Amino acid sequence: MLARLLMTLPILLTGSFGAAADAPDSAHDFVFTAIEGHKLPLSSFEGKVVLVVNTASLCGFTPQYADLQAIWERYRDRGFVVLGVPSNDFGNQEPGGEDEIKMFCEVNYDIDFPMTSKVQVKGEDAHPFYKWAAGQVGPAGTPRWNFHKYLIGPEGDLVTWFPTPTAPTSGTVSGAIEAQLARAKPSGGELTRKTGQE
């Protein structure tokens, strides 16, 4: 009896670890759709530092778009990416379609950082990235309004989060970005200078 149990133990262990291995453990495991319609895998940002922000066009915090563009311009040559994620989850403040959202951002804020198609960021129908992020940070760190911010490290780890009122250009956010940029590995002997819009 003991011998039979010992023979089946490796199979049981392999099965349990195999199931765990299927669970995403990195932001790089997720894929969005770009606002232009093509696939946007987060793995394309491997080695970069990414600030993921759920956005809306009709929110009192919408002027943060200007700060997001400013911080993108400040750090993008060092391997930093802002990723805007339009969502209509809060106050019906992003009712338009992708073309309308893109035009609004470009005309009003001269946005040229990458953006995704409109998705849900809370609840059962949330995008898988946001479900994963909620599991990483717990209820306190999940979006409660537009312009919630997640900072993803160069290896795909969720480093920290910032609530809606925290300005993207604040010392808190820029300090966290700089700390992660210091972790990023140089590519080809120099810092990566791609914009993340390829």
Q: Which residues have a catalytic role annotated? A: 59
Between the CA of residue 193 and those of 69, 151, 186, 188, 189, what are the distances in Å? 17, 19, 10, 11, 12
CB atoms within 10 A of CB 38: 8
Burial 63-90 (b: 16+ CB within 10 A, else e): ebbbbbbebbeebbebbbbbbbbbbbbb
Helices (H), ranges, 23-148? 64-75, 98-109, 128-137
